[in-house]
Amino acid sequence: MIEVQRPSTDEYAPFYHKYVERVPDGDIRSILRVQLADTIALLRPISEQQAAFRYEPGKWSIRQTIGHLLDTERVMTYRALRIARADETPLAGFDENTFAQNAGSDERTLPSLIAELEALRQSTAALFQHLPDAAWSRSGLANNKSVTVRGLAFIVAGHGLHHREILQTRYLPARALSV
C-alpha cells in the first residue's frame, strides 16, 4: 500500500484549493478516520433546540449544515469510486443549495444526523483504505473539471474541516449566547 501524497493543484479544480490546503500533512486515510471523532465530539453537546440555530437570516441551520456535509461527502466519494474503477463517464455537478432545501435535515433529530455522518464517514474511510495503489492517480471529469481520486479524498477531508471551522466560529459561539 502506497503512502498517498497531497495532490498537486492540477488534480482538482481551483475552487477546491481552499479545502485541500486545510488538510494537514499525513496519511489521508488516517486523517479521514481521526477527523470523524473530532467532528462528532463537536456536534454531540449541541441540543435539539440549538441545532435549529442560524447565525444570520438565510443561512443554513446547524442541522442543514450537517445535511450538506452528508450530501457533499456522498457526491465526492461516488465520484472517487467511479474514477477509481476507471469509469470514464463524465460526472455531473450538483447544486448544494438545492440539495440543502430538499434534504429535510431540519425535520430530523440531531442524533439521527450525527449517526448518519458517523456511518457515512466510516464507509468513506473504508473505500479509500482499500483502493488499489493505481487508483489514486486516476483522473476523470466531474462538473466539467478534471479531478483525481487523490484530489477527491483531500476534498472530502478539507470540506469537512472547512465546515467544522464555520460551526466553531459562526454557529457555536453565537448559539451559546442566543439559546
Residue 35 belongs to a domain: no
In a domain, residue 83? The reply is yes
Domain hosting 105: range is 9-19+60-178
> With helix as H, strand as E and coil as C, how does 46-88 read?
CCCCHHHCCCCCCCCCHHHHHHHHHHHHHHHHHHHHHHHCCCC
48 lies in a domain? no
Contact at 8 Å (CB) between 82 and 91? yes
pLDDT tens by residue, 73-90: 999 999 999 999 999 999
Looking at the domain assignment, is residue 67 inside a domain?
Answer: yes
Q: Is 76 contained in some domain?
A: yes
Could you tell me the pTM of the whole model? 0.95
- Nearest residue to 167 via CA among 70, 51, 24, 21: 51
Number of domains observed in the structure of the chain: 1
**Grid cell 434534504 in the structure block, residue:** 103
CATH number at residue 112: 1.20.120.450
Residue 3 lies in a domain: no
118-159 per-position pLDDT tens digit: 999 999 999 999 999 999 999 999 999 999 999 999 999 999
Evaluate whether 158 touches 20 at the Cβ level (below 8 Å): yes
For 12-44, write each residue's pLDDT tens digit. 999 999 999 999 999 999 999 999 999 999 999
